[in-house]
Amino acid sequence: MILRDTPSRWEIFLILNGSIVPQILPNIIGAAMWALIVLLLDQMVSWVPRISIGVMGVFGLSLSLFLGFRNNAAYDRWWEARKIWGKMVADVRSFAQELRIFANSHEDEEFILTHILAFHHLHRGQLRRDDVRNDVTHWVGTDAAEPLIADVNAPNAALRAISGRLRKMSEARKIDGFGQKALAERLACFPAAQAGNERLLTTPLPFVYSLLVWRTTYLYCLLLPFALLDSAGWFEPLVAAVAAYVFFGLAQVTHELEHPFRDKAAGIPLSALCRTMEISVCNALGRPAPDRLEPVNYILE
């Protein structure tokens, strides 16, 4: 996720870190070159048919409305993912406080909270294909980490280990019935969050939307030079490049927001959120807390 203040008027045109320009630069250059070819054919070879600028205006308005609709849908997905992870951070902190209230053993408290951290690191690995073996091993140890990582649903395996520990605590009368109910309800929040994230991961926006947007954008940029011959003159390649930047840029931004868990500049900072949980758990257990992750080149991972 990009974290930076509003750039100055000069930096706006020079910033590439976090910009979609590198991804769409071939499309921009292609649109400008195509417009130049059409212009040269009309000026030096033979008269080229025109398209009404009014028709292209209606076409462009329709395309921009559809791009806006799809961009809103993609942002809703991104914001929902961020809200789910924000609630997961809050649930970790609440779980730590409830354990302090209801549990009567520091050993049990440590086991449960470290396995909660293992759950979140394993879930991060599930969502973003990160290698989380070292993180999981750091918190629960090698002997406990290996069976978790080997499980077909590794995050859920960590939750099962916590459930088993809570059951043993109940059988040993380390927690009463009310405490058991409160902790079980809090624990149930984590698989619900996992399921919500898996839904976002495995159910992108309908492919027909993406296909229609890209086809229409390419078609618009192919036809636009024929509408600019009389009005733009030798500025036609520049105008075509700007139009390509706007429409291809919106399409690319939508594509990146549609996949909130990818390790890209626009993605949710899963590593930083996991570190926030680690700090909260360390505070609850009386351990030295690690430093917060800071943005690198304005990007927080």
Give percent of the chain above pLDDT 70. Answer: 94
Contact 110, 165 (CB under 8 A): no
Q: What is the 3-state secondary structure (H, E, C) of 58-82?
A: HHHHHHHHHHHHHHHHHHHHHHHHH
Q: Taking residues 223-249, what's their average pLDDT?
A: 89
More reliable by pLDDT, 189 or 70: 189
User: Is pLDDT above 80 for 256?
Assistant: yes
Q: pLDDT category, 7, cuts 50, 70, 90?
A: low
At 184 the pLDDT is 93
How far is it, in rounded angstroms, from Cα 280 to Cα 269?
A: 17
Q: Taking residues 146-155, what's their average pLDDT?
A: 94
At 295 the pLDDT is 78
Q: Taking residues 234-258, what's their average pLDDT?
A: 90
Q: pLDDT category, 29, cuts 50, 70, 90?
A: very high
Contact 160, 177 (CB under 8 A): no
How far is it, in rounded angstroms, from Cα 149 to Cα 131?
A: 10
At 109 the pLDDT is 93
Domain boundaries, the chain: 24-285
How far is it, in rounded angstroms, from Cα 30 to Cα 35?
A: 9
Q: For residue 163, count other CB atoms closer than 10 A to its CB.
A: 15
Q: Taking residues 25-39, what's their average pLDDT?
A: 92
At 231 the pLDDT is 82
At 80 the pLDDT is 96
At 84 the pLDDT is 97
User: Is pLDDT above 80 for 4?
Assistant: no
How far is it, in rounded angstroms, from Cα 260 to Cα 82?
A: 8
**Highest-confidence range of 89-98, 207-216, 223-232, by mean pLDDT?**
89-98
How far is it, in rounded angstroms, from Cα 139 to Cα 154?
A: 15
User: Is pLDDT above 90 for 48?
Assistant: no
Q: What is the pLDDT of residues 61-89, one digit of tens each?
A: 888 888 888 889 999 999 999 999 999 99
Contact 175, 169 (CB under 8 A): yes
At 63 the pLDDT is 85
Q: What is the pLDDT of residues 89-136, one digit of tens each?
A: 999 999 999 999 998 788 999 999 999 999 999 999 999 998 999 999
SS3 296: strand
Given the structure tokens 């030798």, which residue do they identify? 234
At 195 the pLDDT is 96
How far is it, in rounded angstroms, from Cα 296 to Cα 180?
A: 42
User: Is pLDDT above 80 for 216?
Assistant: yes
Q: Taking residues 205-228, what's their average pLDDT?
A: 88
At 152 the pLDDT is 93
User: 41, 61, 27: which is closest to 241 by C-alpha?
Assistant: 27
How far is it, in rounded angstroms, from Cα 214 to Cα 247?
A: 9
SS3 299: strand
